[in-house]
Amino acid sequence: MTTRRVDSKRRDTAKFSFRGPGSLLFFFSVNVITVQLLFLQYSCVIYCSCSRNILQWTPPTPLKNGRRCKSQKLTPIIIATVKKRGGGGVFYVQKQCSNLPDELPELTADVDAHVDWMSTALGKLPDAVNFWLGEADAVTSLHKDPYENLYCVISGQKDFILLPPTDRPFIPYGLYQPAVYRQKDDGDFEVVDQRDREKVPWIPVDPLDPDLERYPAYRRARPLRCSVRAGEMLYLPSLWFHHVRQSHGCIAVNFWYDMDFDIKYNYFTLVDDLTAFTGQH
CATH of the domain at 174: 2.60.120.10
DSSP bridge partners of 235:
55, 150
Q: Which amino acid appears at position 189 of this protein? A: F
Its domain, for residue 126, covers: 55-277
Establish if 3 belongs to a structural domain.
no
State the average pLDDT over residues 120-147. 94
Q: Are 55 and 162 in contact (CB under 8 A)?
A: no
Establish if 43 belongs to a structural domain.
no
- Per-residue pLDDT of 43-76, as tens digits, reads 222 322 222 333 333 333 333 444 445 555 555 5
Q: What is the mean pLDDT of the chain?
A: 75
Residue 157 has pLDDT above 60, yes or no: yes
CA 53 – CA 31 distance, rounded (Å) = 7
The answer to which of 5-19, 86-100, 211-225, 258-272 has the lowest mean pLDDT is: 5-19
Phi, psi of 190 (to 5 degrees): -130, 155
Establish if 13 belongs to a structural domain.
no
Three-state DSSP class for residue 77 = helix
Establish if 41 belongs to a structural domain.
no
Q: Which helix (H) or strand (E) holds 101?
A: helix 99-103
Distances (CA, A) of 109 to 62, 105, 227, 234, 280: 12, 8, 27, 22, 48
Establish if 79 belongs to a structural domain.
yes
Establish if 45 belongs to a structural domain.
no
Establish if 242 belongs to a structural domain.
yes
> 19-43 burial, b for 16+ CB within 10 Å, e for fewer?
ebbeeeebebebbbbebebeeeeeb
pLDDT band at 78 (very low <50, low <70, confident <90, very high): low
pLDDT of the residue at 270: 95
The total number of structural domains in the chain stands at 1
Q: Are 182 and 194 in contact (CB under 8 A)?
A: no
Establish if 146 belongs to a structural domain.
yes
C-alpha closest to that of 122 among 92, 101, 149:
149
From the DSSP assignment, how many helices (H) and strands (E) are in the chain?
4, 19
